[in-house]
């Protein structure tokens, strides 16, 4: 149906899209490529524990990520646990409230105390100057997140860590393939952790990796993801089962072949969104750190209710009625979780930028196979909704 004649679903019309348009979809490889790899696994009967496919995947990932080492894990959350454990930390770990719960849970599960730091209102990341204000003698590390794949101020955070004797683990769940200052994003700090969940650009259905610039850390990480087993005769430290299986690794090898095309196609869709939405009153974009080659993991916009005419939540609801499934990543803030909200650093008056952003941000659908015409229709729906703000408000 031409959009012009479309009666908004929020006003009683039929949804613009007959099927849900999700915030993301995984790119799947050619099934024949995957089958060929899995046929070999069926022949070998080698399913996990340091098999041929996980080793091959680690080699290929390390080359692509240009890091000192790459250890795959069964998911990003376990990767964070292993990374924190390997650094033998104590006390407080400074992090962001504007992230997926896994970041903060990993700190708490490790017996450490999350210390929430407010974010930069433009980049959405933890700025070094604000993190510095939270450092006490009890602080042992920083756990910043490259939010939506946007690199943190890695130089500033490293200066702070060097000055105060802190470790840095980057949550790079969103940042696979990002380059910053011409280098792979996994080369900053002590360690970085990627997620290879199905919703990520590069995925293994479930999976992840711990990487870093120093190859000497590999041995520790590799034993921690395997119960602490170093050899047949030696078990050292409190490890966990964090291994990636051969089947997941085979999927990763096949998906890796499609990765460059996925990034290229997403970039094209981001450009189209930006072209269509820039200059619209009440809509802002995330500011990408300079000298970055982006991976286009997400397309977040910020809605200012006063100038746009509708709040983020109203827009989210009206888009959903059209079958456009936008997501409010990352609302609620992690600091609002009852498990954390009594922490002094979780006080809302100490996190004004994070609160403001969490009430405004909306991630629009973005994936390589999203038709360009659908991007255009999504924008048209969004603008029609804005133009009918008064009617939608009165109906709600």
Select the span of 70-78, 135-143, 149-157, 235-243 touching ligand T4K (CB under 6 A).
70-78
Select the span of 97-105, 244-252, 302-310, 353-361 touching ligand T4K (CB under 6 A).
97-105
Under rule CB under 6 A, residue 377 binds ligand T4K = no
Comparing every residue's Cβ against ligand T4K, the nearest one is: 76
Shortest Cβ 231–ligand T4K spacing (Å): 29
The set of residues, in sequence order, having a beta carbon less than 8 Å from that of 286 and lying 6+ positions away, is: 122, 123, 124, 147, 148, 150, 300, 302
Shortest Cβ 88–ligand T4K spacing (Å): 22
Contacting ligand T4K within 327-366 (CB under 6 A): 329
In the complex with ligand T4K, which residue's Cβ is closer, 145 or 263? 145
Under rule CB under 6 A, residue 76 binds ligand T4K = yes
Shortest Cβ 331–ligand T4K spacing (Å): 12
β-pairing, 361-364 with 299-303? antiparallel
Helices (H), the chain: 31-44, 52-65, 76-86, 101-109, 128-134, 154-164, 218-224, 246-256, 259-277, 305-308, 312-321, 352-358, 372-387, 389-395
Under rule CB under 6 A, residue 77 binds ligand T4K = yes
298 and 366 Cβ atoms separated by less than 8 Å: yes
Under rule CB under 6 A, residue 24 binds ligand T4K = yes
In the complex with ligand T4K, which residue's Cβ is closer, 107 or 173? 173
Among 11, 13, 25, 228, which residue sits at the site for ligand T4K (rule: CB under 6 A)? 25
Q: Which two tokens stand for residue 237?
A: 């430290």
Q: What is the C-alpha to C-alpha distance for residues 227 and 211, in angstroms, rounded to an integer? A: 19
Under rule CB under 6 A, residue 208 binds ligand T4K = yes
Under rule CB under 6 A, residue 75 binds ligand T4K = yes
Residue 195: strand pairing partners: 208
Q: What is the C-alpha to C-alpha distance for residues 142 and 132, in angstroms, rounded to an integer? A: 10
Number of residues that bind ligand T4K (CB under 6 A): 23
Select the span of 191-199, 268-276, 304-312, 313-321 touching ligand T4K (CB under 6 A).
191-199
In the complex with ligand T4K, which residue's Cβ is closer, 21 or 303? 21
Q: What is the C-alpha to C-alpha distance for residues 194 and 57, in angstroms, rounded to an integer? A: 14
Under rule CB under 6 A, residue 171 binds ligand T4K = yes
Place of tokens 């990765």: 259
Under rule CB under 6 A, residue 102 binds ligand T4K = yes
Residue 277: strand pairing partners: none
Phi–psi pair at 220, nearest 5 degrees: -65, -45
Q: What is the C-alpha to C-alpha distance for residues 188 and 206, in angstroms, rounded to an integer? A: 24
Under rule CB under 6 A, residue 248 binds ligand T4K = no
Shortest Cβ 190–ligand T4K spacing (Å): 17
- Reported as type and span, the H/E element at residue 116 is strand 113-116
Q: What is the C-alpha to C-alpha distance for residues 303 and 300, in angstroms, rounded to an integer? A: 10
Q: By the criterion CB under 6 A, which residues form the site for ligand T4K?
A: 22-26, 75-77, 99-100, 102-103, 145, 171, 173-174, 195, 197-199, 208, 325, 329
């Amino acid at each position: 149906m031409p959009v012009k004649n479309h009666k908004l679903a929020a006003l009683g019309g039929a949804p613009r899209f007959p099927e849900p348009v999700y915030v993301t979809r995984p790119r799947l490889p050619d099934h024949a490529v995957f089958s060929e790899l899995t046929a070999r696994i069926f022949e070998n009967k080698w399913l996990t524990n340091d098999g041929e496919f996980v080793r091959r995947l680690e080699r290929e990932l390390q080359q692509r990520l240009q890091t000192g080492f790459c250890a795959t894990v069964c998911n990003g959350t376990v990767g964070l646990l292993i990374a924190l454990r390997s650094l033998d930390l104590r006390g407080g770990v400074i992090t962001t409230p504007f992230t997926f719960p896994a970041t903060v849970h990993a700190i708490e599960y490790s017996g450490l105390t999350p210390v929430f730091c407010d974010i930069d209102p433009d980049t959405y990341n933890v700025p070094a100057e604000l993190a510095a204000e939270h450092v006490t003698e009890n602080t042992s590390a920083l756990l910043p997140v490259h939010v939506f794949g946007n690199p943190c101020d890695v130089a500033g955070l490293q200066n702070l860590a060097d000055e105060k004797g802190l470790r840095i683990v980057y949550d790079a769940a969103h940042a696979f393939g990002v380059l910053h200052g011409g280098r792979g994003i996994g080369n900053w700090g002590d360690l970085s952790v990627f997620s290879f969940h199905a919703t990520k650009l590069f995925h293994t259905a479930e999976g992840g990796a711990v990487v870093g610039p120093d190859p000497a850390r590999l041995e520790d990480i590799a034993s921690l993801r395997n119960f602490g087993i170093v050899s047949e005769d030696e078990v050292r430290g409190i490890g966990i089962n964090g291994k990636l299986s051969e089947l997941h690794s085979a999927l990763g090898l096949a998906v890796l072949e499609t990765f460059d095309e996925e990034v290229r196609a997403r970039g094209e869709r981001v450009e189209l969104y930006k072209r269509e939405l820039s200059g619209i009153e009440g809509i802002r974009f995330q500011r990408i750190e300079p000298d970055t080659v982006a991976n286009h993991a997400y397309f977040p916009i910020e809605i200012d209710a006063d100038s746009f005419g509708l709040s983020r939540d109203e827009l989210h609801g009206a888009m959903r009625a059209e079958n456009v499934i936008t997501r409010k990543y990352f609302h609620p803030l992690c600091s609002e979780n009852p498990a954390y909200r009594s922490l002094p650093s979780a006080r809302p008056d100490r996190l004004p930028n994070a609160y403001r952003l969490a009430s405004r941000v909306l991630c629009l659908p973005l994936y390589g196979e999203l038709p360009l015409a659908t991007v255009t229709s999504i924008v048209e729906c969004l603008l029609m909704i804005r133009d009918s703000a008064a009617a939608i408000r009165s109906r709600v």
